[in-house]
Amino acid sequence: MTLMDRRRRSDTLRGKVAIVGIGEVPTRRVIPDRTMYGLNAEAAKIAIADAGLRKEDVNGLVTDGAAALATMAEYIGIRPTFATGVSMQGASGASATTVAASAINGGLADTVLVVMGNSRLDRAVPGGASVRSEWEEAYGPAAGAGTGYAQIYTRHMYEFGTTQEQMAIVAANQRFNAQENENAVFHGQPASKEDVLSSRYINYPLRILESVMPCDGAAALIMTRADRAKSFPHRPVYLLGAGMEQSNANIWQTDRITTTPVKTSAARAFQMSGYGPGDMQFAEFYDCYTILVAVTLEDAGFVEKGEIGPFYESTDTTYKGSFPINTDGGQLSGGQPGLAGGFRHVIEGARQIMGRGGGRQVALNDLCMVNG
Amino acid sequence: MTTEYNKPLPRLVNEAVSRPFWDAAKRHELVMPRCLNCSNMFFYPREQCPNCYSDNTEWVPVSGKGRVYSYTVVYQPANRAFQEEAPYIYAIVQLNEGPRIPTNLLECEIDGVELEMPVEVVFDDVTDDVTLVKFKPA
């Protein structure tokens, strides 16, 4: 074995992780009065106890594609820093175990719960009954995801004195940026702060120009090993740190709705990178609604909690400004092509670091934080 | 109650778990699940306590009094059946006993809501079989 081969092997998963607990709910033809999430939670309980752990020790969650991760985490009562669903049909269990191992090896979590299960009688399947169908829909929630975000917005105004005028700046600055992005759905349609404030309500305090528009589109990227990256046509965009946290599925299940999982995920990403918020030169942050950009910038540590309103009043966040945010217009002005809507933040961060921002190129383009 | 109710009714995730809540609401009583192992009162009801994982839980009556934790005013509902009611208040109420519950605020102007304002439960018999749990200023 050459030295290179040996080094390659030491960079792999080999011998890096171990299974330390297992759990199983007895298999029966039908288990009455139980749900898929309930059976999963019971298996999780058994495995956690088997390992001699408490649920607070578990900071990773990998499940199959049938389970909604947020619902699973909420049901089990954990907030993992790594969570994903693996859909590989019959190979899902082995694949999920491998993914869990990679996450531990990569420093995204220390102790991962891998759990999957089935209930043939359960109606908690896509389109079936859910927490939402039982506890929310009869009270008339708003279109899209606006109900929860509006309640975060209302609570943020109450706790910190944030105003709708301040949040309108978030949307207006991103619209300004979109005027230099021909791929943005609102390219060629400027909108000022006043335009935002005079647009109609979807649900108070969210106006339509503070909310994403569903669109068609797609995005992709190619990633390779850092030791190969210099031989490619563009300036390499290195990943220096990453962090995740899986929060609740339902906003009313969250203790403090004005604090998002970004408080944990950003701290972990900064810790891995060796950098801090003050080192970042620009940011590409998930923006289904204005208020989410605002609270996640706070939670990432760019400003103190509750100070995002004054920050937007005093800081130019356009691509020309001292701290550019969502330089391609974000989803609010770029549009939301499904899950590629949030992916745009990764793509635009990479584009700017490559120096390919064109008319919207930021001046300082070495360090960017992305939130998805 | 005799006129047709055309809005969505609660679709239960698991009858065995949450039927007691809806039966109590029909009797105009508000009840919450509580863990007999760790005494945690939680909502929504589920098969095991989200705090300690015990499946030994009971239903206990609560005061029906609470405060507005947050709210939104819905102008464009997800379900068109609510359009004629819009704009209306959709809120999260925190019960004095701790748990939070999604609901509507009745007998309150849309610009008259203040967070942490005290509210009390109102039972809305929307059909012969179903009673929704709503709140009004206390």
Min Cα distance A205 → chain B (Å) is 7
- Show the DSSP H helices in chain B as ranges: 15-26
CA distance A31 to A12: 41
Q: Where are the beta strands (DSSP E) in chain B?
A: 31-35, 57-61, 65-74, 88-95, 100-104, 118-125, 131-137
Mean pLDDT of A40-49: 92
- Show the DSSP H helices in A143-281 as ranges: 146-160, 164-178, 193-198, 262-273
CB contact under 8 A, B13 and A136: no
CA distance A122 to A128: 9
Stated pTM of the model: 0.90
CA distance B9 to A137: 7
Q: How confident is the model at residue A3 (pLDDT cuts 50, 70, 90)?
A: low
Burial of A216: CB neighbours in 10 Å, binned 0-12, 13-18, 19+: exposed
CB contact under 8 A, A152 and B70: yes
Mean pLDDT of A184-196: 97
Mean pLDDT of A62-89: 91
**ipTM confidence score:** 0.94
Q: Determine the 3-state secondary structure of A325 from DSSP.
A: strand
**Chain A contact probe: residue of B21, B35, B75, B103 with most A CBs at under 10 A:** B75
Q: Worst-scoring range by mean pLDDT, A17-31, A318-332, B47-61, B119-133?
A: A17-31
pLDDT over 60 at A124, yes or no: no
Min Cα distance B11 → chain A (Å) is 5
Is residue B87 less than 8 Å (CB to CB) from chain A?
Answer: yes
**Chain A contact probe: residue of B53, B122, B131 with most A CBs at under 10 A:** B53
Residues in chain B where the model's pLDDT stays below 70: 1-3
Is residue B77 less than 8 Å (CB to CB) from chain A?
Answer: yes
CB contact under 8 A, A252 and B100: yes
Locate A162 and state its tokens: 């944030």
CB contact under 8 A, A142 and B76: yes
- Residues of chain B found within 8 Å of residue A253, distances taken between Cβ atoms: 44, 100
Identity of the residue in A42, A204, A252 whose CB atom sits nearest the CB atom of B73: A204
* Adjacent-strand bridge partners of B137: B119
Cα–Cα–Cα angle for A122, A128, A129, nearest 5°? 75
Residue A188: other Cβ atoms inside 10 A? 9
Q: What are phi and psi of A134, to 5 degrees?
A: -90, -40
pLDDT over 60 at A241, yes or no: yes
Min Cα distance B99 → chain A (Å) is 9
Mean pLDDT of A81-86: 94
